[in-house]
């Protein structure tokens, strides 16, 4: 039993599987971005080479950092993402039934990586990192509310079911939540929210290479930076998986590729927003749309 | 697999703009354009010295920024390579007689490769990057 769970976590559908899939996806993302800019793009194993290199580099601890938190946070971000990923993978491959109410638990677990970035930046002792962590916190404030509202829609559509497994079962008996007005609205909102959660380009205010030089990650190097990069790579698989299971009755390669394509196009066609614009976008434009979606769902549309 | 081979497969470049006239800076950015596309070799420009594998030092090192260059080199996680970029960094160029010059870059920090030119052409930069990769791998 214990060995089985260790296998689930470390090999399939946990660490190795998600990491391998994430590296492939992250290459596809970089290659497609390059092709969209009429460039050649990196070789197939480039994301793997990047990670491999970070693990042989020296890991430096800044003098001003609060060391225990500074070291703990990358590991916490990674383990949060791994836990959510393994959980969703177990549900996807029918290896476990989860428990009633695991939608709520999963969304909470998925905030751990973002919170870890906030604490990591704050503990670095670097002004730009502090700025990055403050921005990440504001970004979380902006998207979390809309994310919850959009996830309410499948819960309402399935008649109050709160387990991912039972929502999938409901969708295979009836039709997927996505094939309705409210489901479509919820899916689009959740897509924008996971885009913000991954910190991709229109919402990369916390990282902002060109203005605050990698933000919260600025002082991280070597192994600890590698942990953060690994978390980002895994998020590319884990977050769309949650979306597909809750809105589209489980994932397959075609659905996943479609969601990924939307994410890459959104990333490549938008400039970075300012923090005020992000707040306004989520609270004043997307939130009313989400509430409209809830009303439609309550009326069975 | 040896460490040099792992390192050279993804060189992240940190651009140390010494007192440049901005000419070298522009030519560095040229390498990222579609025509030259340094990402083919895994080369990427990063904003933080802690992420750097290659310091690209451009410009004349005057008395103000020579100590800062030394500090930057000590802040970079090892192993790290250094490229002296342009005539000013390689040999002090036209500023060799200036009252405000300090030492050439290779007397402040160890330099792996020199790229002469004022400014060097993007082809020369990519050529230098490939030569540097070969040198680090010991080929």
Number of domains in chain A: 1
| Average pLDDT in chain A | 88
**How far apart, in whole angstroms, are the C-alpha atoms of residue B120 and residue B123?**
8
Identify the pLDDT of residue A234.
92
B47 touches chain A (CB under 8 A): yes
Q: Which residues of B touch A35 (CB under 8 A)?
A: none
How big is the CA angle at A190 (ends A218 and A158), to the nearest 5 degrees?
A: 145
In a domain, residue A6? The reply is no
User: The domain containing residue A203 runs over which residues?
Assistant: 18-298
Query: Pairing mode, if any, of strands B54-58 and B113-115?
Result: unpaired
Contacts of B99 (CB under 8 A, 6+ apart): none
In a domain, residue A8? The reply is no
Mean per-residue pLDDT, A269-281: 89
Q: What is the pLDDT of residues B3-17, one digit of tens each?
A: 777 788 888 999 888
Q: Which residues of A touch B10 (CB under 8 A)?
A: 46, 49-50, 52-53
Interface touch B48/A219, C-beta < 8 Å: yes
In a domain, residue A11? The reply is no
Chain A / chain B CB contacts < 8 angstroms: 75
Identify the pLDDT of residue A22.
92
Mean per-residue pLDDT, A12-30: 90
> Pick from A37, A49, A225: which is nearest to B42 by CB?
A49
Confirm if B49 and B80 have CB atoms less than 8 A apart: no
Residue A52: count of CB within 10 angstroms of its CB: 16
**How far apart, in whole angstroms, are the C-alpha atoms of residue A285 and residue A186?**
14
Interface touch B42/A41, C-beta < 8 Å: no
Q: Which residues of A touch B39 (CB under 8 A)?
A: 30, 34, 39-42
> Pick from A52, A53, A221: which is nearest to B50 by CB?
A221
Interface touch A41/B7, C-beta < 8 Å: no
Pick among A36, A37, A39, A226 to test the B interface (most B CBs inside 10 A) = A39
| Average pLDDT in chain B | 86
pLDDT category at B137 given cuts 50, 70, 90 is confident
Pick among B51, B55, B133 to test the A interface (most A CBs inside 10 A) = B51
In a domain, residue A177? The reply is yes
Q: Closest by alpha carbon to A167, among A181, A150, A153, A179?
A: A153
Q: How many CA atoms lie within 13 A of A288 on its CB side?
A: 4
In a domain, residue A122? The reply is yes
Identify the pLDDT of residue A215.
79
Q: Closest by alpha carbon to A110, among A72, A71, A131, A140?
A: A140
In a domain, residue A12? The reply is no
Pick among A57, A126, A216 to test the B interface (most B CBs inside 10 A) = A57
In a domain, residue A140? The reply is yes
Interface touch B77/A57, C-beta < 8 Å: yes
Interface touch A222/B77, C-beta < 8 Å: yes
**Secondary structure percentages of chain A, helix, strand, coil, to 5:** 75, 0, 25
In a domain, residue A229? The reply is yes
Identify the pLDDT of residue B1.
61
pLDDT(B102) > 90: no
pLDDT(A160) > 90: no
- The torsion of the CA quartet B125, B130, B132, B134, rounded to 10 degrees, works out to -170
Pick among B15, B36, B47 to test the A interface (most A CBs inside 10 A) = B47
A46 touches chain B (CB under 8 A): yes
């Amino acid at each position: 039993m214990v060995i089985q769970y260790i296998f689930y976590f470390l090999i399939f559908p946990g660490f190795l599987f998600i990491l391998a899939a994430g590296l492939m996806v992250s290459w596809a993302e970089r290659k497609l971005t390059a092709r969209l800019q009429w460039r050649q793009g990196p070789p197939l194993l480039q994301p793997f080479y990047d990670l491999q290199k970070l693990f042989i580099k020296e890991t430096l601890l800044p003098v001003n950092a609060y060391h225990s938190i500074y070291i703990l946070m990358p590991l916490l971000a990674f383990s949060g993402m791994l836990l959510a990923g393994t959980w969703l993978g177990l549900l996807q491959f029918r290896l476990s039934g989860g428990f009633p109410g695991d939608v709520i638990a999963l969304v909470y677990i998925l905030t751990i990586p973002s919170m870890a970035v906030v604490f990591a930046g704050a503990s670095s002792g670097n002004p730009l990192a502090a700025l990055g962590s403050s921005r990440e916190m504001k970004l979380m404030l902006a998207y979390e509310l809309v994310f919850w509202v959009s996830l309410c829609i499948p819960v309402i559509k399935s008649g109050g079911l709160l387990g991912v497994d039972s929502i999938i079962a409901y969708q295979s008996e009836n039709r997927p939540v996505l094939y309705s007005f409210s489901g479509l609205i919820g899916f689009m909102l959740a897509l924008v929210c996971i885009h913000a959660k991954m910190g991709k380009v229109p919402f990369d205010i916390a990282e902002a290479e060109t203005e605050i030089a990698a933000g919260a990650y600025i002082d991280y190097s070597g192994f600890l930076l590698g942990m953060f990069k690994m978390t980002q790579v895994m998020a590319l698989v884990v977050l769309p998986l949650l979306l597909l299971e809750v809105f589209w009755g489980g994932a397959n390669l075609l659905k996943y590729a479609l969601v990924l394509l939307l994410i890459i196009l959104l990333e490549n066609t938008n400039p970075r927003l300012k923090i005020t614009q992000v707040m306004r976008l989520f609270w004043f434009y997307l939130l009313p749309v989400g509430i409209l979606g809830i009303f439609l769902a309550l009326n069975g549309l | 697999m040896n460490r040099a081979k792992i390192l050279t497969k993804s060189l992240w470049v940190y651009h140390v703009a010494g007192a440049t006239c901005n000419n070298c800076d522009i030519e560095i950015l040229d390498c990222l354009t579609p025509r030259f596309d340094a990402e083919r070799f895994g080369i990427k420009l990063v904003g933080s010295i802690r992420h750097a594998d290659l310091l690209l030092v451009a410009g004349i090192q005057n008395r103000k920024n020579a100590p800062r260059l030394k500090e930057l080199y000590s802040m970079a996680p090892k192993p790290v390579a250094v490229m002296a970029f342009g005539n000013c960094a390689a040999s002090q160029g036209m500023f060799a007689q200036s009252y405000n010059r300090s030492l050439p870059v290779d007397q402040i920090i160890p330099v792996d490769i020199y790229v002469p030119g004022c400014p060097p052409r993007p082809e020369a930069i990519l050529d230098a990057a490939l030569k540097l990769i070969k040198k680090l791998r010991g080929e």
